[in-house]
Amino acid sequence: MSSFLPNHLFTTSGSLVDLLDKRLLVILRDGRKILGFLRSYDQYERIYVKDVYGDIQRGVFVIRGENVVLLGEIDNIKDDEQPLQQLPYDQVLRMQQEEAEARQQKEKVKNQLLHNQGFSVDFLETDLY
């Protein structure tokens, strides 16, 4: 296909150049959020539960493109103004776990009801795409 398409159409990598060395938020398909500098050695994973968050140091991350949902550039001014509260990550992980269990419980009840009505319920919460 690339043989008959003009080269100037391939602009993805070009459009990402200006995000290099910037502080980014990367949302992955499994719902994980990675915060760090694009092409740098300073990346970590942050988990959010409602209005608190916790950071897990992750070192260098190499992410395959298909797992990317969104790349967002962090505005430092907006970042300073955000009202979220940081907690130790093990505490947030526990809260996240509890929230996930509560959601699964709710989902189970809903799926059972749908199943009783004859609906197919093969949707998996963890696989969003």
Partner 1 sequence: MLFYSFFKTLVGQTVTVELKNDLSVVGTLVSVDQFLNIKLDNIKVEHEDQHPHMMSVKNCFIRGSVVRYVHLPPAAIDTALLQDAARRESQQSTATAKA
- Give the binding site for partner 1 (CB under 8 A): 5, 9-12, 15-16, 19, 25, 27, 29, 31, 33, 46, 48, 50-51, 53, 65-66, 68-75, 78-79, 81-82, 84, 128-129
Which residues are within 8 A (CB) of 17 and not within 5 positions of it... i.e. 6 or more apart?
A: none
Find the shortest distance in angstroms from Cβ 36 to partner 1.
13
Cβ-based nearer residue to partner 1, 25 or 95: 25
Shorter beta-carbon distance to partner 1: residue 80 or 90: 80
CB burial of residue 24 (10 Å; 0-12, 13-18, 19+): buried
Question: Of 69 and 111, which has the nearer Cβ to partner 1?
Answer: 69
Cα distance between residue 116 and residue 124, in whole Å: 18
Among residues 16 and 56, whose Cβ is nearest to partner 1? Answer: 16
Largest Cα–Cα distance in the chain? 55
Report the nearest approach of partner 1 to the CB of residue 116 (Å): 26
β-sheet bridge partners, residue 35: 25, 44
The residue among 17, 111, 127, 114 whose CA lies nearest residue 71 is 17
Q: How far is the CB of 65 from partner 1 (least distance, A)?
A: 7
